[in-house]
Chain A
């Protein structure tokens, strides 16, 4: 059992939890993830490690399905049934001097530890983070602290500059050809758009694939994707991949595999919990 040390509501749909997990914390590195399970007979879901110290790991999750809904019902001092990790390969933050880190929406939770690691390794970090609107903004100050240049955009212009992260990216790439890496983490469509752009400017681009997973150790193959025409597993071969080699269209379709089932499960769980509250 894993105790929740701290819970913070970052915005109406995104929650941060700091969890006591000394074994995982000890070997965790930026870019890695955990798999957790909230209840017996429950689903196993992957979540990226957003931060870690000697004793704890931090996760940031969006409430999208039955499991994240149940997870969000837990409070400080409650325990999470199962947490396993750190899984996947850490992001390579060693070999680059000037990088652009792009975070989209809740993907910022994954992009932040990567930006922080680059910062600690003395790289020049430019961060571009984007959100649909002002209410959904997370980690703004955290990003500022680890970035040499910092840009924040909203799709609707309700906070700061209006536009997509790709608008800002293109502006930067036009002016300056000395970036040696772009890392993009966010919705698949955003990562695809970033890759299409960086291909034109010929800048190496790494993306983090947050596929559907069960075990996270290479056993089930449900996180598979096509990279350079070959089938790879996000859990053990990734989650980071060369964005210019990924078949994004396939990945986007695969991410929708359980959409309708999940929607039903989510509604079901919400209704059950509402019933319970009524009856208490």
Chain B
């Protein structure tokens, strides 16, 4: 029965004042009834505007149709045909800028909660199925190496394994998952869910080798010649943190968001049992306006900081962070300093940060990114007292692979240059995708690139046989 409600069906969340002291997942997800109720808001539009907003083209009205019928496992199969990381994308995709942005229901009320429904279906599948039943596809004898186990690497490996290739993923850290495990915090994306997706890959026959840095432990040449990999997919991400190059940025207590989040997420600094040291700060300033800034700020709060500020040089409208994360951060007591930009950091005699000096900004004409560019308001300097600063102003592609592969063509800023149609690099049999090509972007775009590269690698290797 059609649900005419103008608002999304409520998804329960942990109370803001409880959750800002723990690392358990914030959103609790739909149950079957609320999922069906929300699915019934979908108009099943013939021209499927939502699908055209999805970077990987998930057949959204089809899977929602199955939810309406209560056939959740069938709904999962529909999503899984185009998106093998549904439980992750349902949680971290910026739906409001993609599928939900185009939803006809959004013209008069709220869009259908496509992200929440995707998450529900994926969780239903994870809780009610087991990988034991999966048949490993008969193996082709061609080996493919995937460098990096983040979203791009995982999706490429999954596609190739399904087509029968022998796939090995090489991961530099001790745990697979890339940014999904070192970057995105437990309260937004539980690590058990990432692990289930990785276990699923292993059940498909994918081999994962952790503690291997390609370009150092094994070179690309060795992958090809010594280990006989016929194609290589570079998905090494954009891990190199940017700094602002302002005074005292190397003072103690100034972190890159990567370092702060890695210490907490990957190295579990929030647990009593962890040996990982981290500065226990009272007043924290996070610089930046993306999801990473929200994650860092909300982690700082959970680590016990009394005051946490997000310093962003534009206004709320221009923030690239997911809407839900901004709202959750506000509810949890994070204080936003919009139209504010740091110009220097102050430190005490022990080299520890004690303040951040900022200027006020106003918005001018739209710039290259189509956002109104911030302009400094003169004589507007002011100090905020802090004992920790976290820089979350973006990352660049990791240089290790390109430094060890002189023939690889890269952009000036470090991104690997690929053919847009095939994701092929300048070197035969080597493909690349995800943040290593685009610079820091979203999980879903990286996944899409991994899938596209898998198609190209399949074509390339089929011809070579």
**Residues of chain A at the chain B interface (Cβ within 8 Å):** 23-24, 27, 37, 39, 41-44, 66-67, 70, 81-87, 214-222, 224-226, 231, 236, 250, 253-254, 256-258, 261-262, 265, 269
**Residue B127 at the A interface, CB < 8 A?**
no
Contact of B241 among A42, A85, A220, A269 (CB under 8 A): A220
Assess the B219–A214 pair: CB atoms within 8 A.
no
B429 part of interface (Cβ distance < 8 Å): no
Q: Is the CB of A221 within 8 A of B173?
A: no
Check if B400 is an interface residue, CB within 8 A of chain A. Answer: yes
Q: Identify the closest chain A residue to B391 (Cβ).
A: A221
B173 with A41: CB separation less than 8 A? no
Out of B250, B275, B400, name the residue touching A224 (CB < 8 Å): B250
Question: A185: shortest Cβ distance to chain B, in Å?
Answer: 21
State how many angstroms separate the Cβ of A237 from the closest Cβ of chain B. 9
> Do residues A82 and B210 form an inter-chain contact, with CB atoms below 8 A?
yes
A residues less than 8 Å from B276 (CB atoms): 41-43
Interchain residue pairs with CB less than 8 A apart (14)? A23-B217, A41-B274, A84-B173, A214-B259, A217-B213, A217-B239, A218-B239, A218-B398, A219-B262, A221-B240, A226-B250, A236-B399, A256-B252, A269-B275
Interface contacts (Cβ under 8 Å), in number, total 125
In Å, the complex CA distance between A258 and B267 comes to 16
Is B172 an interface residue, CB under 8 A from the partner? Answer: yes
How many angstroms between the C-alpha atoms of A162 and B216 in the bound complex? 42
Instruction: Decide yes or no: A220 and B400 within 8 Å by CB, A24-B217, A27-B216, A231-B243 being known contacts.
Output: no
Residue B461 at the A interface, CB < 8 A?
no
- Please name all residues of chain B whose beta carbon is closer than 8 Å to the beta carbon of A221 when the two chains form the complex: 240-241, 243, 255-256, 258-259
B358 contacts the other chain (CB 8 A): no
Contact of B245 among A85, A231, A250, A257 (CB under 8 A): A231
The 5 tightest CB contacts between A and B, nearest first, are A253-B351, A220-B259, A219-B239, A221-B256, A258-B277
Given A87-B213, A231-B250: A265 and B277 within 8 A (CB)? Answer: yes
Contact check, B240 vs A219: say whether CB atoms are below 8 A apart.
yes
Q: When the two chains form the complex, which single residue of B217, B256, B273, B400 contacts A85, counting CB atoms closer than 8 Å?
A: B217
The reply to whether A66 and B275 contact each other, CB–CB distance below 8 Å, is: yes
B273 CB to closest chain A CB (Å) equals 5
A214 and B263 in contact (CB under 8 A), knowing A43-B277, A84-B174, A253-B350? Answer: yes
Residues in A neighbouring B255, C-beta threshold 8 A:
221-222
For A2, the closest partner residue in chain B by CB is B211
A167 → chain B closest CB, angstroms? 29
B267 adjacent to A219 (CB under 8 Å): no
Shortest beta-carbon distance, B250 to chain A, in Å?
6
Least CB distance, A201 to chain B, in whole angstroms: 29
Judge whether B259 and A81 touch: CB under 8 Å.
no
